[in-house]
């Protein structure tokens, strides 16, 4: 009997053929005066907002023109015409495509939420923007930086990375069980990724009604340090390292308490208090195992011993070609050999060339050669080309992450228990090929910046001298890696330069100095800071 009833219900539902709408999380309308919710509904998988909810806050008048299947909205002299089940709406004479058609149900009209940014913005004089990921609707002159937060776990330590766009002043305050990061803004457009509670952090969340982010701490939390670094596109990255309470040391570390209310911005110095992080380790002390994983997983290489140099293209793949016939594959090999000679003779480092002659090597094989030969840095040399002959200048690239999805990132770094010689076992990180560069990309960015700086002192740079791109040769490199485009061979003057010994030597000098500077910086960081600080406290003045 029950079965028949269910079947009957299903048949009725199918016969009516109209799925129901369900209330969804509201959007938040942010204006210079206030914040208010904008209710939304989910209908057949689509997130919609009722036109009646938009009328008051956006000053719309619903015209009293009764046409079946059509709705006319007015804002002063500008008119919006909606047609039921038609994905294009007419807005002040323009056709605008929506993610899904407007919907009329029981006399009420609903539009997809992108209607706000695509259509309403055209009839308002002040700025109007929809931030779909955070559910914010920004109306008027409001300051709402986008904050993309990523939470990473390494051994017993954790790192919170906040990419703040545009750069915005911030204050970090610590109370008993909470770190509060407050931005100088009207609201936060917060995107939180990878957050899972752990031994240090119970939760990370936006603070209601305030442009602030709260990190709820657990008892295992010991101290934190914060640094900021300028990022591309006018953004700034705030990096907060969270350390556990020391577990076993032969001498108790002083209580780590960073200065409350520390103010930061782009270029701010690290906020490391005494006893925080690896910078505070004192030579001779034995340190608990808790300190080790971070060094293995987050810290840069302690020593730069080997450099992989990849001469781009080769064999049948000639690369770009200059107007006088110079070939990219020849220029890159010549510069690679010059660079190898300088590194070996002046720095005494081991050099790995991915090709030593005019041979074809696949992109993944180039990275594999560097990985197998345990190179500590990877540099791929190229010359560029443009259909516009006037374009000149060198460019340095490191891998962009945007093209590699969250699921793929999470799939990386899985530990596998493997047996060892002599008995026992150890955990081995299995890193998918496509994820190899991801763990190094911060250091790649830093090295790329150093190389771009040094090159800019010696050769002409493109207006976009430092960039990120999804270059295949970088993906599998398991070390900091960059691509250097030395110039545009399509420009006759640059073609002559790129084939000249003088210009090639200038490029090599820039690359060599970039390696020296980067090596010195990372090796200095892995040494105890107290050895170099005036008061031995480990503080950076």
Residue 264 has phi, psi (to 5 degrees) of -140, 170
Instruction: Mark the segment that binds another protein (CB under 8 A) among 169-177, 394-402, 503-511, 519-527.
Output: 394-402
For residue 28, the Cα-to-chain-centroid distance in whole angstroms is 25
Q: What's the first-to-final CA gap in the chain, in angstroms?
A: 81
> Residue 77 has which token pair?
């002299």
Cβ pair 378, 482 in contact under 8 A: yes
Residue 390 interacting with another protein (CB under 8 A): yes
The 420-439 contact track toward another protein, x by CB under 8 A, reads --------------x-----
Q: How far apart are CA 520 and CA 347, in angstroms?
A: 12
Asked if 45 is part of the footprint of another protein (rule: CB under 8 A), the reply reads no
Site for another protein in 47-106 (CB under 8 A): 87-88, 94-95, 97-99
Strands 78-83 and 70-75: antiparallel
Q: How far apart are CA 522 and CA 526, in angstroms?
A: 6
Q: Interface with another protein includes 409 (CB under 8 A)?
A: no
Do 511 and 451 meet the contact criterion of CB atoms below 8 Å apart?
A: yes
C-alpha–C-alpha distance, residues 339 and 315, integer Å? 21
Three-state secondary structure string covering 142-201: CCCCEEEEEEEEECCEEEEEEEEECCCCEEEEEECCEEEEEECCCCCEEEEECCCCCCCE
Shortest spacing between CB 336 and another protein, in angstroms = 16
Residue 313 interacts with another protein (CB under 8 A): yes or no: yes
Nearest distance, CB of residue 311 and another protein, angstroms: 12
Copy the structure tokens of residue 309: 């140099």
Q: Pick the closer one to another protein by CB: 91 or 281.
A: 91
In the set 363, 411, 431, 506, which binds another protein (CB under 8 A)?
Answer: 363
Residue 113: closest CA among 45, 46, 54, 49: 49
Contact between 60 and 50 (Cβ < 8 Å): no
Residue number, 271 or 392, with CB nearest to another protein: 392
> In the bound complex, what is the minimum distance in angstroms from residue 114's beta carbon to another protein?
7
**CB distance 430 to 414 below 8 Å:** yes
Is residue 388 close enough to count as binding another protein by CB under 8 A? yes
Report, in Å, the least distance between residue 316 CB and another protein: 12
Count of residues of this chain found to bind another protein when the rule CB under 8 A is applied: 50
Asked if residue 403 binds another protein (CB under 8 A), the reply is yes
Site string for another protein, 470-499 (x = CB under 8 A): xxxx-x-------x-x--x-x---------
Q: Report which of 194, 229, 231 is spatially closest to residue 406, judged by C-alpha positions.
A: 194
Q: Which is nearer to another protein, 371 or 490 (CB)?
A: 490
Task: Tell the smallest beta-carbon distance from residue 302 to another protein (Å).
Answer: 30
| Contact string (CB under 8 A) for another protein, positions 165-204, x = contact | ----------------------------------------
Q: Which stretch binds another protein (CB under 8 A): 242-250, 389-397, 450-458, 530-538?
A: 389-397
Q: Dihedral of CA 402/516/476/467: which sign? A: positive
Stretch that binds another protein, among 59-67, 261-269, 298-306, 461-469 (CB under 8 A): 461-469
Contact indicator for 188, 147 with CB cutoff of 8 Å = yes
163 counts as binding another protein under rule CB under 8 A = no
Max CA distance (Å), the chain: 92
Residues 95-124 that bind another protein (CB under 8 A): 95, 97-99, 114
Which residues would be at the binding site for another protein (CB under 8 A)? 87-88, 94-95, 97-99, 114, 312-313, 317-321, 328, 362-364, 382-388, 390-391, 395, 397, 400, 402-404, 434, 462-464, 467-473, 475, 483, 485, 488, 490
């Amino acid at each position: 009997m029950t079965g028949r009833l269910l079947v009957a219900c299903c048949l009725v539902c199918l016969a009516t053929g109209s799925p129901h709408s369900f209330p969804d999380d509201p959007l938040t309308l942010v204006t210079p005066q206030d914040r208010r919710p904008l209710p939304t509904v989910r209908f057949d998988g689509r997130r919609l907002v009722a036109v009646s909810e938009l009328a008051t806050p956006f000053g719309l008048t619903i015209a009293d023109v009764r046409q079946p299947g059509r709705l006319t909205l007015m804002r002063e002299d500008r008119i919006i015409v909606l047609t039921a089940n038609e994905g294009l709406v007419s807005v002040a004479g323009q056709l605008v495509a929506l993610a899904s058609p407007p919907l009329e149900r029981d006399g009420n009209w609903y539009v997809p939420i992108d209607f706000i940014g695509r259509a309403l913005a055209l009839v308002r004089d002040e700025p109007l923007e929809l931030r779909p990921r955070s559910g914010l609707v920004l109306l008027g002159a409001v300051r709402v930086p986008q904050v993309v937060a990523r939470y990473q776990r390494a051994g017993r330590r954790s790192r919170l990375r906040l990419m703040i766009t545009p750069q915005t002043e911030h204050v970090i305050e610590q109370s008993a069980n909470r770190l509060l990061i407050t931005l100088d803004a009207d609201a936060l457009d917060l995107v939180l990724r990878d957050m899972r509670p752990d031994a240090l952090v119970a939760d990370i969340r936006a603070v209601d009604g305030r442009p602030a982010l709260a990190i709820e701490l657990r008892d295992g939390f010991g101290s934190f340090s914060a640094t900021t670094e300028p990022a591309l596109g006018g953004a700034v990255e705030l990096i907060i390292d969270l350390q556990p309470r020391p577990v076993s040391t032969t001498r108790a570390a002083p209580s780590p308490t960073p200065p409350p209310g520390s103010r930061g911005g782009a270029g701010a110095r690290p906020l490391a208090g005494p006893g925080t992080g690896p910078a505070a380790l004192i030579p001779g002390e034995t340190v608990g195992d808790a300190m080790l994983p971070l060094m293995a997983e987050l810290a840069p290489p302690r020593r730069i011993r080997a450099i992989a140099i990849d001469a781009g293209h080769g064999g049948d793949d000639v690369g770009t070609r200059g107007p006088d016939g110079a070939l990219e594959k020849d220029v890159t090999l010549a510069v690679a050999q010059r660079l190898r000679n300088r590194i070996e003779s002046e720095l005494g480092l081991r050099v790995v060339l991915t090709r030593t002659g005019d041979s074809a090597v696949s992109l993944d094989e180039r990275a594999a050669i560097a990985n197998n030969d345990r190179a500590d840095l990877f540099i791929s040399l190229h010359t560029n080309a443009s259909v516009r002959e006037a374009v000149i200048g060198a460019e340095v690239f490191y891998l962009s992450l945007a093209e590699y999805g969250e699921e793929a990132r999470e799939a990386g770094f899985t530990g596998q228990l493997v047996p060892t010689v002599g008995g026992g076992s150890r955990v081995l990180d299995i890193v998918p090929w496509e994820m190899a560069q991801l763990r190094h990309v911060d250091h790649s960015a830093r090295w790329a910046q150093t190389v771009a700086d040094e090159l800019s002192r010696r050769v002409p740079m493109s207006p976009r001298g430092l960039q990120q791109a999804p270059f295949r040769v970088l993906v599998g490199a398991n070390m900091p890696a960059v691509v250097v485009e030395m110039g545009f061979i399509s420009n006759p003057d640059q073609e002559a330069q790129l084939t000249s010994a003088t210009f090639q030597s200038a490029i090599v000098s820039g690359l060599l100095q970039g390696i020296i500077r980067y090596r010195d910086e990372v090796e200095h960081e892995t040494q105890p800071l107290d050895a170099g600080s005036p008061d031995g406290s480990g503080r950076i003045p």
